[in-house]
Structure 1
């Protein structure tokens, strides 16, 4: 123990005996120790006695008594051994459910988590959206509805383990699969590869994300028992070295729990990384499907990381529904094999604002605002027949009666909300937004806004002066949908399928306007690098490229909506009101606010803002016909509703206590 220091900092040395004090020492020696020269010996003696006392105490008490209660017995964590999971060497089955904190109002987190636990599940899984936590490069937000620590801690308080899925890519029908749009400012960007520009951004993100959760791991006393490496990479598989880099990045930042990967049956072998347990995703229980896991990892536990309880919806399509009895039968079959299971989704929630993703295979299809998913709990957290049958199943499976689920939340119908005021976009634009002048079109992500991070979502208006009429040709450069105007006269739409319009002749120079909407970036597939929005190239009139643009960034953030209050141009809604325009009304709440749903019958396409916050998109093509409005967004008294309508405006917004997500189609 020669390295320890006591008192004035001198090295403490424990000697076998004290010279001159022991056998053969005369009485005249002892008094000499208490003189000036004996102080050092006295300190040595007291140090020696203290060590003896410490040794006696440690022999009488167990060393584990010095370990915090929350850490006792937490040594091995979740292990994958001999075809089964072990938690501290005891057999363990994962019965999980997915829900995402960023799709649920924070005030409802505990309600949803409690319902998951009461259903008989023992584990929560959640994604982490990079593009919300780092909306601007180098600026990180883990507050409010993005307080990941609070969400995970609350899950632990409810009695749930947690499997964390931090990405960086998450898919999840979320804009760009959770990747921030500012990555696309780099014209050479190669997402989800070891391309330096991408990996440097990932490392910086992990440097801020992982410290938020590292102390919440199981071995640190928290509820996180496993962490997923990326997500469904086998379906992308652009870089053989990529998954290894992501795994090392997690380990380097002190992730110590079991690592997992997640893929569908076709991507298993390409998404596998040594040192992580492979899991599988599916909806239908095909014969010998688990043999595909055995082919890449022998004698390991089986887990369905995503058992799809329903499916998401796209604008213009049906509302997808998965039969409850077929779902229950498949869940039972999975459990009978001895596999663990995670229900994706247990509760879907809402794609508030403009954060929905899209798919683009044969055609481009943006996802709707609702992420109801036909899940076990509805978008608003209500029970379904799926919940009741799963509750019975897990009660029988465990042999224990589950705690009674909490009561459902009341819904309210606040009646018709009359839109009383009107504000044309053309009238308010000059006073609210400073235009960007550019000889050529600039895509949304490269606009010099948001501290150099570009525009992430919403609308972008491009204006150019034209001398006459003729053929307007986008040549595929409109992403995703543009309303075309000459001055304020509506001409038509340009999108992926309609790329030409006829511009009528007129006298003198006129203003051509293209109001381009980002309808949602692709979240899955090989088009991730091709998701720049706005005008991504030249627009041609009579085969001549247009030049000298004024460009207006219209993200419609809360600050923009709030600035509409200062406008003096609000007027009564005219009989022939058309968009693009803002319409304003008041929702009156006399008592404690309750959840409700807004129906925009008679309106065409746009977005709804409640007290300055973006509730989501609506579109007459369906399937979604109501927008979920949580009570937490309302206040007692006056609530301002602003509707941004692109074209054909209605007169009222109806508040109802029942959702309607459109014509049902059963998933086959």
Structure 2
């Protein structure tokens, strides 16, 4: 007995004095080898699933991780979203839904490695690309450059990220094997000193011993590629994979190859069709990469939802993203496997090293429906006013220290005896105009609108402008996206043959924050109007505001609230912000996670800045509606009146283009001046459909012109069903493209309005990125006028 006790004591003593050595023995290593990554000194192919913790309700985190593992993935790839962790300057939040360290620990618990992409910029169709709005309180700030204030805030934030995640790197016994430096910077600019400083900040934040990498497109990765970082490529379904890595293999023949974003689908925008990508094309690309030992991260494996106000907007122009981030991913928005999932899983099984993939986990919640219910309480939108100021000039939302929401601008008008043109310079983003409380019309930034005709007015009449801000632009140079009215408001009229313009002054400005707390205060501060289905018109004269209802559940489950009866705004369920809705579609329902519901009474609050057309009702259905448009007119650009007569015009160039992938530059014999550029495609290489991925124009010095003011004036044919409209040639995305409809006759014409007269010397043309460049142009004529 004595010997047994002594043995137990010895074991306990060893456990106390040797924990560090025992842990050290369990620690793994991750390194770069010749043409491969090395995990514990053995070749390792990264099979990563891109997932975003803020887009998944925390109670579902582990289920989504298990879904990725059952798909055959060995790694999770995630962004760290600066603006969700530092919503107020200097106030950091890594708790609850923001506990990214816990998400990484759950990954490790389930046998998954982690790739961390800490920004500071992330894109991700997320508000301002992950940068916090309060940076714009410094109006002259230079974002994503070596602006002293910007770099100071980046350094402070990354230090906080390091506190959370540096202890979880693989050298510390954690799951994090790689960390990214910045994000697709080649699509923003060329500034190696800036990227180098971001790398140094990442290292200083505790990531000095982990593998660092940077990602970009094959067409621009050399612009900012640092010698001491791993280079990875981003491209989408259907891409010519050998071509995507060709330049990298020339420069670094012994580097491991990785597609750090292999796009499984695409994101949706308000007013455009739901995006999908073929499963077979996606799976074929992954199969090819794995057969060649190429690592990848599938963006997205599970997209989730941009809850609340976190959905961003694309550019050029202004194209706000919908709330759903379903992305046509293998795991759908609410966490279930799709046909794309099962198709990919069968292929991934081939690369499971002889083992069997884990079983696909059951859904954490059933899918339920809720019968139609009535919103019985209403208070006007003015009940949500938070602060008011008097100002000679208009102020932006940021100047009034508000990040998200709506603003009301009001002033008195001078006498204008005839109709006049009201112009907002600029409207960010959706304005409704009233005179003495009467609705006059709207100005919608999505449609590139800035002006509105108003009737004759008398001195002293009140002009009121209600503006709702949508998500800030998340891609390109336009991420510096102020909200509200950004410069001034003018009124222009013709009097006695003269043009008179008033620069309107002396504004009364009010802010209405976009959050549940404001809605609660609105109901508390104003007496709610109660009405029933028998008297729905009682709110029709002034129906912009807050609506409240409730429904009762005997059991909880995931569901989808249908908002088609309402206009435009935000929904809260039991205090949780579900996200934005807009009756133009394509999204008509919002995902309601069952973990946010409860047995018994459930509260629903809606802020509708437009107002319902009829009775304010809603219901919950057992499947989403993500592809139903209610547009005033088609997205096509085929108005016959916009087609130019080119019969007697001389082209600035008439040329034959080569077949295959990659950029081609078409130089003009002499510089040409004009506001409009007409691209006439007279034939293609072995296809009856034209397809153009991107176009740039060069000035007389060979510098590419800004495409920010560009719009499509005319396109004779557009494949609208696949969202292959003309504007895709300047949307900053090489994987999207303008495509004509099958069976339509040549030639095909695309006319671009440059916004102002420009001098042009050359055109840069990019065909589709897929093998063989389907639809690539053979004979092209270019006109400038």
TM-score above 0.5: yes
In the TM superposition, residue 506 of structure 1 has moved relative to its aligned partner by 4.8
2:621 and 2:587 map into 1 onto residues whose CA distance is: 14
1:393-542 alignment, distance < 5 Å: 393-398=347-352, 399-408=354-363, 409-426=365-382, 428-429=383-384, 432-447=385-400, 454-469=401-416, 470-496=419-445, 497-506=448-457, 509-529=460-480, 531-542=481-492
2:460 and 2:618 map into 1 onto residues whose CA distance is: 39
1:626 aligns with 2:589: yes
Paired residue for 1:588?
552
The correspondence for 1:665, drawn from 691, 706, 722, is: 722
1:544 aligns with 2:502: yes
SS in 1 for 2:192: coil
Q: Are the equivalent residues in 2 in contact too, given 1:235–1:271 (CA < 8 A)?
A: no
The correspondence for 2:163, drawn from 190, 202, 211, is: 211
The correspondence for 1:575, drawn from 533, 537, 552, is: 537
TM-score of the aligned structures, taking structure 2 as reference length: 0.73
2:169 and 2:387 map into 1 onto residues whose CA distance is: 47
In the TM superposition, residue 631 of structure 1 has moved relative to its aligned partner by 1.1
1:380 aligns with 2:334: yes
1:361-397 deviations in Å (ceiling 9; x for gaps): 2x32100010000001111101101111222112222
2:526 and 2:395 map into 1 onto residues whose CA distance is: 31
1:400-456 deviations in Å (ceiling 9; x for gaps): 111111112311001112112222224x25xx5231221111111111xxxxxx211
1:306-357 deviations in Å (ceiling 9; x for gaps): 0101100000000001111111111111111210111100100111111111
SS in 2 for 1:67: helix
RMSD: 2.1
1:544 and 1:507 map into 2 onto residues whose CA distance is: 14
The correspondence for 1:267, drawn from 220, 230, 234, is: 220
Q: Would you tell me which structure has more strand in proportion to its own residues? A: 2
Paired residue for 1:321?
276
Paired residue for 2:254?
299
In the TM superposition, residue 68 of structure 1 has moved relative to its aligned partner by 4.5
1:106-145 alignment, distance < 5 Å: 106-145=58-97
5+ residue gaps, structure 2: 1-9, 493-500, 629-720, 724-735, 738-785
Structure 1 stretch displaced more, 279-288 or 87-96: 279-288
2:25 and 2:90 map into 1 onto residues whose CA distance is: 38
Q: Which runs of 4+ in 1 moved over 4 A?
A: 61-66
SS in 2 for 1:152: helix
Q: Are the equivalent residues in 1 in contact too, given 2:413–2:457 (CA < 8 A)?
A: no
- Greater RCO between the two (CA within 8 Å, min separation 6)? 1
In the TM superposition, residue 559 of structure 1 has moved relative to its aligned partner by 1.5
In the TM superposition, residue 270 of structure 1 has moved relative to its aligned partner by 1.7
Paired residue for 2:191?
239
In the TM superposition, residue 549 of structure 1 has moved relative to its aligned partner by 1.5
Structure 1 stretch displaced more, 165-174 or 514-523: 514-523
Paired residue for 2:685?
none
TM-score of the aligned structures, taking structure 1 as reference length: 0.86
Structure 1 stretch displaced more, 217-226 or 570-579: 570-579
Paired residue for 1:10?
none
2:522 and 2:430 map into 1 onto residues whose CA distance is: 25
Q: For the structure 1 residues 540 and 288, does the alpha-carbon distance in structure 2 shift closer, same or farther, using more than 3 Å as the test?
A: closer
Paired residue for 2:495?
none
1:159 and 1:565 map into 2 onto residues whose CA distance is: 48
- Give aligned pairs, total: 596
SS in 2 for 1:539: strand
Q: Are the equivalent residues in 2 in contact too, given 1:413–1:656 (CA < 8 A)?
A: yes
Q: For the structure 1 residues 113 and 556, does the alpha-carbon distance in structure 2 shift closer, same or farther, using more than 3 Å as the test?
A: same
2:139 and 2:568 map into 1 onto residues whose CA distance is: 32
Structure 1 stretch displaced more, 644-653 or 326-335: 644-653
SS in 1 for 2:322: coil
1:74-153 alignment, distance < 5 Å: 74=27, 77-153=29-105
Q: For the structure 1 residues 62 and 351, does the alpha-carbon distance in structure 2 shift closer, same or farther, using more than 3 Å as the test?
A: closer
In the TM superposition, residue 264 of structure 1 has moved relative to its aligned partner by 1.5
1:222-250 deviations in Å (ceiling 9; x for gaps): 10011001110111124231110011111
Q: Are the equivalent residues in 1 in contact too, given 2:216–2:232 (CA < 8 A)?
A: yes
2:120 and 2:526 map into 1 onto residues whose CA distance is: 45
1:278-327 deviations in Å (ceiling 9; x for gaps): 11111133143211222343311000110101100000000001111111
1:536 and 1:575 map into 2 onto residues whose CA distance is: 36
SS in 1 for 2:265: coil
In the TM superposition, residue 131 of structure 1 has moved relative to its aligned partner by 0.6
1:358-377 alignment, distance < 5 Å: 358-361=313-316, 363-377=317-331
In the TM superposition, residue 644 of structure 1 has moved relative to its aligned partner by 1.6
In the TM superposition, residue 65 of structure 1 has moved relative to its aligned partner by 5.0
1:68-101 deviations in Å (ceiling 9; x for gaps): 43432537x2212110110121111111101000
The correspondence for 1:335, drawn from 276, 290, 298, is: 290
Q: For the structure 1 residues 140 and 520, does the alpha-carbon distance in structure 2 shift closer, same or farther, using more than 3 Å as the test?
A: same
SS in 1 for 2:146: coil
Q: Are the equivalent residues in 2 in contact too, given 1:263–1:271 (CA < 8 A)?
A: no
In the TM superposition, residue 472 of structure 1 has moved relative to its aligned partner by 4.3
Structure 1 stretch displaced more, 501-510 or 170-179: 501-510
Paired residue for 1:656?
621
The correspondence for 2:130, drawn from 178, 197, 203, is: 178
1:72 aligns with 2:25: yes
Structure 1 stretch displaced more, 656-665 or 195-204: 656-665
Q: For the structure 1 residues 90 and 439, does the alpha-carbon distance in structure 2 shift closer, same or farther, using more than 3 Å as the test?
A: same
Paired residue for 1:38?
none
Q: For the structure 1 residues 500 and 292, does the alpha-carbon distance in structure 2 shift closer, same or farther, using more than 3 Å as the test?
A: same
SS in 2 for 1:435: strand
Q: Are the equivalent residues in 1 in contact too, given 2:262–2:298 (CA < 8 A)?
A: yes
